[in-house]
A and B are shown apart, each in its own frame.
Chain A
């Protein structure tokens, strides 16, 4: 597996004399999609983010020899599982970062627990990671589908758009996203006026969009992901749906998707994110440094990898150990105050609790630059955004 070590970065060799010192060796493995549909929102950017965390933490002077390696799991759980096992068994990896797509994340979470290491997941959205398939060594950092449903579904309904129509991808992920959002819309006093299921993947949304338009709904909720969401938004823009007074709500979308669509097409779209580069001075400063190294603005997944790595390194420094249980316990016992996510903490089940934000995509007139895409609508406090731990199905967190 030596070849997977991508430009192995040893920070510790700077400035330290070559004399014997009891440094803790830490190897971080960034395992994500580097060639497929999620390569833009995770990919190499996550590796850059992890390295920035190592530099900013100043690991070298704190007695940590940190190395960051990476590999492409190609969104296939068997490849992810193979790499994860090999990293833990042979390459001395202590923590795996990122891991987008829920099937690969669940596979890696399992292996991580067996190996007693740490998984800090930023890219995957499945609530299963801290639900029925939770593991004591899984830290789920950035977002999950429940938080996105809560943010978009709840905040939009409370803001006055009561009638919802759902455009749902016809497979398990779409169904659960639709179900979660419907529940929240109804709890917030909204009404479901209809829903339609489209095949996965779909390219032609015209008949579904016409149904949505005819339903008289205030909001069209897009319970799908990736290419389906992008296609639906493009076609909705051609149908003039947002101009005619209905709004679109994307339930799973990233800034890279919005950037690809452009403000012209995506204007008026509402979506929930954990992080936006233009949120405050600290996120702007960090994002500028990130852009300098990587060439584009960071996504919330990149930001999650950075913050997760920071908190992990703090734990290793404090405990002097890379043992999965020990580090996980420290990470859960100590709150963090992070430049990117604000104040937050890791709950017992591994769910990271931080604020989520509802954004609306700017119109081309409002947008002043290529990446100036969002305006802030509201903040959803972390305690409300994520599912409560009770009743989540996570056995170890709910016992005693």
Chain B
């Protein structure tokens, strides 16, 4: 479904991402783990059109989408829940969701809103509240629900558990598990490597901008050596 090959992205002279390659198949949950500054966010940003890669290619369902604009990528079925959630704090919960569904037809948007209200009861309770008043966990659920409003075929998430209390971290991983059981395709960047490997079908390990290893969640979880160098990974 998603095929990334030899992707290099530089900030000035510094290559934050060096010839990274990965693939995500339909219905898979793929994790992207690694320490701080490994280039995980750069990789997602380069796929989603927020950053322009300098070398390499990104193919989505066979079509070359390298360097395409984010609004175009979203229309082809690729959504990103950005780092730090980036919800619109002055807009209400409902308005945030509506924006997420700007690309779908009005009738379908109404259906999706009902669906989100059902899937995320906390959001339904705060439907008309400005999103700035949500707690961290609620805001994360809103960010994910907002991305789901576009009916993406591939959902990418950047650090969904970052900055959340442990009980809410549990909730985020339960949610990832639930999305997996719905047959959705996910590519998730996580610093919380152990938890990610529990829910991922496969994962890639990034370090200093390079993909150093990959394997199934269980294989990687068994490799203690991987975790020694992680900051906050244990």
Q: Do A and B come from one complex?
A: no
